[in-house]
Amino acid sequence: MGFITILLMPNFNQTRKELGYDAYEDYDSDAVRYQQGYNIQKMTVEDGEEFIINKNWESATIHCNGKMIKLITNNEWEDEQEDDEQIGLTSGIYLLHDGGIIIEKLNKEIDDNNNNWDQESEGIF
């Protein structure tokens, strides 16, 4: 059974709020960017598992480490990707299958009521 690890970087505004800065006050944007990088989280997904990348993440990246991974988007506006270095994911619901070498973006909408889940308590990132 295959698995992948996804690196999730929180978005700029969320990080700014966590640091206690208001959008209209003077703050050091470099400090916010630094904290963003420090707050990167990892999510491990196993073969056959559905997972959500919600809009609170600025980036979601898979480092393939030499393993060829294919992303199927099922959307005419997004390109399919196949790479052995890294793949970026946009917000949406995905399924990992075929031994961890294919990621399929499902044609499901993220429920706005659940888009801001507390990731740790729900087990979803």
Residue 94 dihedral angles phi and psi, to the nearest 5°:
-125, 160
pLDDT in tens, 95-113: 998 887 889 988 887 775 5
Q: What is the pLDDT of residue 79?
A: 65
Average pLDDT over every residue of 44-73: 87
CA distance 48 to 2: 9
∠ at Cα 19 (29, 116), nearest 5°?
A: 105
Q: What is the pLDDT of residue 116?
A: 40
Domain ranges of the chain: 3-111
pLDDT exceeds cutoff 50 at 123: no
Q: What is the pLDDT of residue 1?
A: 56
Q: What is the pLDDT of residue 71?
A: 87
> Could you write out the DSSP letters of every residue in the chain?
--EEEEEEEE-HHHHHHHTT--TTS---HHHHHHHHHHT-EEEEEETT-EEEE-TTEEEEEEE-TT--EEEE---TTS--EEESSEEEE-SEEEEEETTTTEEEE-S-PPPGGGTT--HHHHT--
pLDDT in tens, 9-44: 998 988 898 899 888 888 888 989 889 888 889 999
pLDDT in tens, 69-87: 888 887 666 667 777 788 8
User: Whole-model pTM?
Assistant: 0.74
pLDDT band at 8 (very low <50, low <70, confident <90, very high): very high
